[in-house]
């Protein structure tokens, strides 16, 4: 994700300011997205370690604070986001006070405003988008993928980016996920074509017999995997299907089959 010069510059200005104990300086990047640097009262250990002091300091400055999520600049290692640079790599010596706790540097993002921006970007691609808790479920009519909004916010903040770029980046993620899903489904269909392969929600499904419940494999488990890991998971799942299908139909559990068709997938 590309940094935004306005966001990157605002961080450097805030980190470079001289602050008195308990003083807070903040900057609005855009509606629902604020940056803040605060000098806690270091003699109060609980204030240094808890975000409660940050919340109180911001309460009179940012409307609808209860709808926001805070992301701290020194928390990058907790998220394992390989595309984001560590604080010291871009802030240099300005990172010293943050790393020692003499300053608390964080962004505050309205999760609803961010979700609307991402939803608009995904909808513009022609996809159906539905919000569930703090995730988005996105469907292209064939497959369903999900967006973890909180993780997307963290990536935006630690990349020093803006909402528009974060939304574009998320659209690219989902586009790649749909391509991956189609790649594996076509192989699934080729191998098990006689068992009416199809998709339901985030599962590849087979219908071995009219009196048997459908067999399902969750393709969401491929998310966040390397190509090699995804291949291994897929191969193991297909072997499990193959082994089950070798069992006599008399041993299958009875039940009504789920209705689905693979026609739309195999014609694209």
Determine the angle formed by the axes of helices 163-191 and 227-245, rounding to 10 degrees: 30
DSSP helix/strand/coil, 108 = strand
160: left (phi over 0), alpha (psi -120 to 50) or beta: left
pLDDT at 56: 79
pLDDT at 84: 84
Q: Which value, to the nearest 10 degrees, does the dihedral of the CA atoms of residues 102, 107, 110, 115 take?
A: -140
Are the CB atoms for 238 and 188 separated by under 8 Å?
yes
| Least confident piece of the model among 48-52, 72-76, 89-93, 253-257 | 253-257
pLDDT at 47: 46
Is the pLDDT reported for residue 162 higher than 60?
yes
Is the pLDDT reported for residue 103 higher than 50?
yes
CA distance 59 to 213: 54
pTM: 0.84
pLDDT at 254: 46
Q: Are strands 104-110 and 135-139 parallel, antiparallel or unpaired?
A: unpaired
């Amino acid at each position: 994700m590309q940094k935004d010069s306005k966001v990157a510059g605002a961080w450097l200005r805030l980190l470079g300011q001289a602050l008195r104990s308990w003083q807070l300086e903040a900057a609005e990047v855009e509606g629902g997205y604020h940056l803040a640097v605060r000098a806690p009262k270091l003699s109060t250990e609980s204030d240094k370690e808890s975000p409660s002091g940050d919340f109180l300091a911001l309460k009179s400055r940012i409307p609808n604070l209860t709808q926001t999520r805070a992301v701290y600049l020194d928390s990058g290692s907790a998220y394992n986001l390989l595309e984001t640079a560590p604080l010291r790599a871009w802030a240099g010596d300005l990172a010293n006070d943050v790393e020692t706790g003499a300053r608390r540097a964080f962004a505050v993002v309205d999760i609803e405003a961010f979700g609307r921006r991402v939803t608009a970007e995904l909808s513009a691609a022609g996809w159906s988008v539905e919000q569930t808790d703090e995730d988005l479920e996105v469907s292209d009519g064939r497959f369903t993928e999900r967006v973890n909004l909180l993780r997307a916010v963290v990536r935006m903040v630690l990349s020093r980016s803006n909402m528009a770029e974060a939304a574009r980046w998320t659209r690219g993620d989902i586009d790649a996920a749909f391509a991956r899903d189609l790649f594996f489904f076509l192989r699934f269909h080729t191998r098990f074509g006689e068992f009416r392969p199809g998709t339901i929600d985030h599962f590849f499904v087979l219908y071995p017999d009219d009196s048997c419940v459908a067999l399902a494999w969750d393709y969401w488990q491929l998310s966040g995997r390397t190509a090699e890991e995804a291949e291994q998971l897929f191969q193991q799942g297909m072997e499990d299907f193959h082994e089950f299908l070798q069992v006599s139909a008399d041993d299958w559990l009875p039940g009504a089959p789920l209705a689905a068709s693979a026609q739309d997938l195999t014609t694209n």
